[in-house]
Chains A and B, each alone.
Chain A
Amino acid sequence: MAITVERLDDGEVSPYLTEDVRVGDQLEMRGPVGGYFVWETADGGPLLLVAGGSGIVPLRAILRQREHTGSDVPVRLLYSARTLPELIYRDELDRHHDGVEVTYALTREQPAGWTGYARRVDRALLAETAWPAGKNPLAFVCGPTSFVETVAGGLVELGYEPGRVKTERFGGTGGR
Protein backbone atom coordinates (compact mmCIF):
# COMPACT_ATOMS: atom_id res chain seq x y z
CA MET A 1 0.00 0.00 0.00
CA ALA A 2 1.16 3.54 -0.71
CA ILE A 3 -0.21 6.86 0.41
CA THR A 4 0.66 10.35 -0.78
CA VAL A 5 0.71 13.25 1.66
CA GLU A 6 0.86 16.93 0.75
CA ARG A 7 2.14 18.91 3.70
CA LEU A 8 0.05 21.91 4.67
CA ASP A 9 1.61 24.31 7.17
CA ASP A 10 -1.66 24.70 9.06
CA GLY A 11 -2.79 21.12 8.55
CA GLU A 12 -3.78 18.90 11.44
CA VAL A 13 -2.36 15.63 10.16
CA SER A 14 -0.01 16.29 7.26
CA PRO A 15 2.77 17.96 9.32
CA TYR A 16 2.74 14.92 11.60
CA LEU A 17 2.88 12.45 8.72
CA THR A 18 5.62 14.34 6.90
CA GLU A 19 7.84 15.31 9.87
CA ASP A 20 7.17 13.27 12.99
CA VAL A 21 6.53 9.77 11.73
CA ARG A 22 9.60 7.52 11.79
CA VAL A 23 10.41 4.24 10.08
CA GLY A 24 8.96 1.46 12.22
CA ASP A 25 6.13 3.55 13.67
CA GLN A 26 2.79 1.78 13.64
CA LEU A 27 -0.28 3.45 12.18
CA GLU A 28 -3.87 2.31 12.38
CA MET A 29 -5.65 2.52 9.05
CA ARG A 30 -9.33 2.49 8.17
CA GLY A 31 -10.69 2.19 4.67
CA PRO A 32 -10.56 2.53 1.76
CA VAL A 33 -13.86 4.41 1.96
CA GLY A 34 -15.92 5.90 -0.82
CA GLY A 35 -17.14 4.18 -3.96
CA TYR A 36 -17.99 7.18 -6.10
CA PHE A 37 -14.67 8.48 -7.43
CA VAL A 38 -13.64 5.03 -8.58
CA TRP A 39 -12.98 3.53 -12.00
CA GLU A 40 -13.51 -0.17 -12.64
CA THR A 41 -12.23 -1.81 -15.79
CA ALA A 42 -15.79 -2.61 -16.81
CA ASP A 43 -16.65 1.11 -16.79
CA GLY A 44 -14.66 1.40 -20.01
CA GLY A 45 -13.67 4.66 -21.59
CA PRO A 46 -12.09 6.46 -23.25
CA LEU A 47 -10.92 8.03 -20.02
CA LEU A 48 -10.21 11.70 -19.49
CA LEU A 49 -8.33 12.40 -16.27
CA VAL A 50 -7.87 16.03 -15.22
CA ALA A 51 -5.77 16.86 -12.16
CA GLY A 52 -5.03 20.10 -10.37
CA GLY A 53 -2.02 19.88 -8.04
CA SER A 54 -2.18 16.93 -5.67
CA GLY A 55 -5.48 15.99 -7.32
CA ILE A 56 -3.27 13.69 -9.38
CA VAL A 57 -3.24 11.16 -6.53
CA PRO A 58 -6.55 9.33 -7.13
CA LEU A 59 -6.01 9.60 -10.89
CA ARG A 60 -2.66 7.90 -10.58
CA ALA A 61 -4.49 5.13 -8.73
CA ILE A 62 -6.82 4.81 -11.72
CA LEU A 63 -3.81 4.57 -14.07
CA ARG A 64 -2.32 1.89 -11.85
CA GLN A 65 -5.58 -0.03 -11.81
CA ARG A 66 -5.71 0.16 -15.60
CA GLU A 67 -2.17 -1.16 -15.86
CA HIS A 68 -2.71 -3.81 -13.20
CA THR A 69 -5.72 -5.25 -14.99
CA GLY A 70 -4.11 -5.10 -18.43
CA SER A 71 -6.83 -2.78 -19.71
CA ASP A 72 -6.23 -1.07 -23.05
CA VAL A 73 -8.77 1.70 -22.49
CA PRO A 74 -7.32 4.85 -24.09
CA VAL A 75 -6.51 7.59 -21.60
CA ARG A 76 -5.80 11.27 -21.81
CA LEU A 77 -4.39 12.86 -18.67
CA LEU A 78 -4.27 16.63 -18.29
CA TYR A 79 -2.27 17.60 -15.22
CA SER A 80 -1.93 21.16 -14.01
CA ALA A 81 0.35 22.48 -11.27
CA ARG A 82 1.93 25.79 -10.42
CA THR A 83 5.57 24.86 -10.94
CA LEU A 84 7.62 21.92 -12.20
CA PRO A 85 8.66 20.69 -8.72
CA GLU A 86 4.97 20.54 -7.81
CA LEU A 87 4.30 17.98 -10.54
CA ILE A 88 4.44 14.76 -8.57
CA TYR A 89 4.92 11.25 -10.04
CA ARG A 90 6.29 12.80 -13.20
CA ASP A 91 8.77 9.97 -13.88
CA GLU A 92 6.06 7.38 -13.47
CA LEU A 93 3.59 9.29 -15.64
CA ASP A 94 6.16 9.78 -18.39
CA ARG A 95 6.73 6.03 -18.52
CA HIS A 96 3.19 5.38 -19.77
CA HIS A 97 3.26 4.89 -23.53
CA ASP A 98 0.60 2.26 -24.01
CA GLY A 99 -2.41 4.37 -24.91
CA VAL A 100 -1.89 6.99 -22.21
CA GLU A 101 -1.36 10.54 -23.45
CA VAL A 102 -0.10 12.91 -20.78
CA THR A 103 -0.34 16.69 -21.12
CA TYR A 104 1.10 19.07 -18.52
CA ALA A 105 0.23 22.67 -17.79
CA LEU A 106 2.36 24.83 -15.49
CA THR A 107 0.46 27.91 -14.39
CA ARG A 108 2.97 29.99 -12.47
CA GLU A 109 6.46 29.34 -13.69
CA GLN A 110 8.02 27.22 -16.39
CA PRO A 111 11.61 26.03 -16.75
CA ALA A 112 13.65 26.95 -19.82
CA GLY A 113 12.73 24.78 -22.77
CA TRP A 114 9.34 23.81 -21.31
CA THR A 115 7.26 22.15 -24.00
CA GLY A 116 4.03 21.73 -22.07
CA TYR A 117 1.35 24.34 -21.65
CA ALA A 118 2.08 27.52 -19.69
CA ARG A 119 -1.45 28.50 -18.72
CA ARG A 120 -4.38 27.58 -16.56
CA VAL A 121 -6.80 24.88 -17.55
CA ASP A 122 -9.93 26.48 -18.96
CA ARG A 123 -12.56 25.60 -21.51
CA ALA A 124 -10.32 26.55 -24.45
CA LEU A 125 -7.50 24.31 -23.24
CA LEU A 126 -9.97 21.47 -22.62
CA ALA A 127 -11.31 21.89 -26.16
CA GLU A 128 -7.74 21.48 -27.39
CA THR A 129 -6.65 18.54 -25.24
CA ALA A 130 -9.68 16.54 -24.05
CA TRP A 131 -11.42 13.75 -25.95
CA PRO A 132 -14.16 15.10 -28.21
CA ALA A 133 -17.56 14.62 -26.56
CA GLY A 134 -18.64 12.43 -29.49
CA LYS A 135 -16.40 9.63 -28.20
CA ASN A 136 -18.62 9.44 -25.10
CA PRO A 137 -15.65 9.76 -22.73
CA LEU A 138 -15.73 9.11 -19.01
CA ALA A 139 -14.06 11.96 -17.09
CA PHE A 140 -12.54 12.10 -13.62
CA VAL A 141 -11.64 15.55 -12.30
CA CYS A 142 -9.79 16.07 -9.01
CA GLY A 143 -8.28 19.20 -7.53
CA PRO A 144 -9.04 22.32 -5.54
CA THR A 145 -12.73 23.28 -5.56
CA SER A 146 -12.41 26.20 -8.00
CA PHE A 147 -10.33 24.09 -10.40
CA VAL A 148 -12.89 21.29 -10.35
CA GLU A 149 -15.77 23.71 -10.95
CA THR A 150 -13.99 25.25 -13.95
CA VAL A 151 -13.07 21.92 -15.51
CA ALA A 152 -16.34 20.10 -14.86
CA GLY A 153 -18.34 23.09 -16.14
CA GLY A 154 -16.10 23.40 -19.19
CA LEU A 155 -16.46 19.72 -20.07
CA VAL A 156 -20.25 19.87 -19.84
CA GLU A 157 -20.23 22.98 -22.06
CA LEU A 158 -18.15 21.00 -24.54
CA GLY A 159 -20.88 18.39 -24.65
CA TYR A 160 -19.77 15.87 -22.03
CA GLU A 161 -22.65 14.07 -20.38
CA PRO A 162 -22.86 15.43 -16.79
CA GLY A 163 -23.33 11.92 -15.39
CA ARG A 164 -20.00 10.89 -16.95
CA VAL A 165 -18.01 13.69 -15.35
CA LYS A 166 -17.02 12.54 -11.87
CA THR A 167 -15.53 15.06 -9.50
CA GLU A 168 -13.62 15.14 -6.25
CA ARG A 169 -12.90 18.48 -4.60
CA PHE A 170 -10.37 18.96 -1.86
CA GLY A 171 -11.01 22.55 -0.87
CA GLY A 172 -8.82 25.58 -1.24
CA THR A 173 -5.41 24.13 -0.49
CA GLY A 174 -2.58 25.22 -2.71
CA GLY A 175 -3.93 28.74 -3.23
CA ARG A 176 -4.44 28.39 -6.95
Chain B
Amino acid sequence: MDELDGNGAAGLLQEVFGTEMTVAAATCASCGAVALIGESGLYAGGPGTVIRCRSCDGVLVVITQVRGMHCVDLMGIRAIDMPLGNITSSGA
Protein backbone atom coordinates (compact mmCIF):
# COMPACT_ATOMS: atom_id res chain seq x y z
CA MET B 1 0.00 0.00 0.00
CA ASP B 2 1.34 3.41 -0.87
CA GLU B 3 2.14 5.69 1.97
CA LEU B 4 0.70 9.17 1.68
CA ASP B 5 1.07 12.01 4.13
CA GLY B 6 -1.24 13.47 6.70
CA ASN B 7 -2.34 16.18 4.28
CA GLY B 8 -4.52 13.49 2.73
CA ALA B 9 -6.53 13.20 5.94
CA ALA B 10 -7.05 16.97 6.31
CA GLY B 11 -10.78 16.77 5.59
CA LEU B 12 -11.42 13.82 7.89
CA LEU B 13 -9.39 15.39 10.71
CA GLN B 14 -11.26 18.66 10.28
CA GLU B 15 -14.56 16.83 10.52
CA VAL B 16 -13.47 14.99 13.68
CA PHE B 17 -11.65 17.82 15.48
CA GLY B 18 -13.54 20.78 14.05
CA THR B 19 -10.38 22.60 13.12
CA GLU B 20 -7.43 22.43 10.77
CA MET B 21 -5.11 19.72 12.17
CA THR B 22 -2.37 19.21 9.58
CA VAL B 23 -0.25 21.98 11.13
CA ALA B 24 -0.60 20.51 14.63
CA ALA B 25 2.61 18.95 15.96
CA ALA B 26 2.17 15.48 17.46
CA THR B 27 4.61 13.89 19.89
CA CYS B 28 4.88 10.16 19.22
CA ALA B 29 4.12 8.12 22.35
CA SER B 30 6.44 5.36 21.16
CA CYS B 31 9.65 7.23 20.35
CA GLY B 32 9.07 10.85 21.37
CA ALA B 33 9.64 12.29 17.89
CA VAL B 34 7.70 15.45 17.16
CA ALA B 35 6.27 16.03 13.69
CA LEU B 36 3.44 17.91 12.06
CA ILE B 37 0.42 15.76 11.28
CA GLY B 38 0.67 16.89 7.67
CA GLU B 39 4.16 15.39 7.42
CA SER B 40 3.38 12.12 9.14
CA GLY B 41 2.74 8.91 7.23
CA LEU B 42 -0.82 8.19 6.17
CA TYR B 43 -2.28 4.82 5.25
CA ALA B 44 -5.75 5.41 3.91
CA GLY B 45 -6.41 2.30 1.87
CA GLY B 46 -7.35 -0.14 4.61
CA PRO B 47 -10.38 -0.39 6.86
CA GLY B 48 -9.90 2.91 8.65
CA THR B 49 -7.38 5.70 8.42
CA VAL B 50 -3.99 5.20 10.07
CA ILE B 51 -1.41 7.93 10.67
CA ARG B 52 2.08 6.76 11.62
CA CYS B 53 5.24 8.35 12.97
CA ARG B 54 7.90 8.68 10.29
CA SER B 55 10.69 8.17 12.81
CA CYS B 56 9.65 4.82 14.32
CA ASP B 57 6.60 3.77 12.27
CA GLY B 58 4.55 3.69 15.48
CA VAL B 59 0.83 4.29 15.09
CA LEU B 60 -0.19 7.83 16.07
CA VAL B 61 -3.86 7.97 15.15
CA VAL B 62 -6.45 5.47 13.98
CA ILE B 63 -9.85 6.65 12.84
CA THR B 64 -12.55 4.21 11.85
CA GLN B 65 -16.21 4.64 11.08
CA VAL B 66 -18.53 2.30 12.91
CA ARG B 67 -22.33 2.53 12.84
CA GLY B 68 -22.38 6.19 11.90
CA MET B 69 -19.68 7.20 14.40
CA HIS B 70 -16.08 8.26 13.93
CA CYS B 71 -14.05 6.18 16.38
CA VAL B 72 -10.75 7.90 17.12
CA ASP B 73 -7.80 6.13 18.78
CA LEU B 74 -5.09 8.56 19.94
CA MET B 75 -3.07 6.15 22.10
CA GLY B 76 0.01 6.76 19.97
CA ILE B 77 0.16 10.50 20.65
CA ARG B 78 1.64 11.79 23.88
CA ALA B 79 0.99 15.48 23.19
CA ILE B 80 -0.39 17.78 20.54
CA ASP B 81 0.91 21.31 20.04
CA MET B 82 -1.35 23.58 18.04
CA PRO B 83 -0.58 27.04 16.67
CA LEU B 84 -2.70 29.69 18.37
CA GLY B 85 -5.46 31.29 16.37
CA ASN B 86 -5.92 28.18 14.29
CA ILE B 87 -9.62 27.75 14.99
CA THR B 88 -11.88 27.73 11.99
CA SER B 89 -15.56 28.13 12.52
CA SER B 90 -16.73 25.85 9.74
CA GLY B 91 -15.46 23.72 6.95
CA ALA B 92 -14.94 26.74 4.76
Contacts and interface: CB of A to CB of B under 8 A. Distances in A.
Interface of A: 30-31, 33-37, 145, 166-172
Contact of A36 (B2, B3, B39): B39
Contacts of A168: 5, 7
Interface string B1-45: 011111110110010000010110000000000001111000000
B91 interface: yes
A33 B14 contact: yes
B3 A34 contact: no
Contacts of B20: 33-35
A36 B23 contact: yes
B11 A30 contact: yes
Consensus secondary structure, chain B interface:
mixed
Interface of B: 2-8, 10-11, 14, 20, 22-23, 36-39, 86, 91-92
Nearest to B37: A36
B91 A33 contact: yes
A34 B17 CA distance: 13
B38 to A, nearest CB: 3
Nearest to B36: A36
A22 to B, nearest CB: 26
B22 A35 contact: yes
Nearest to A37: B7
Contacts of B7: 34, 36-37, 168-169
A145 B37 CA distance: 17
Contacts of B23: 35-36
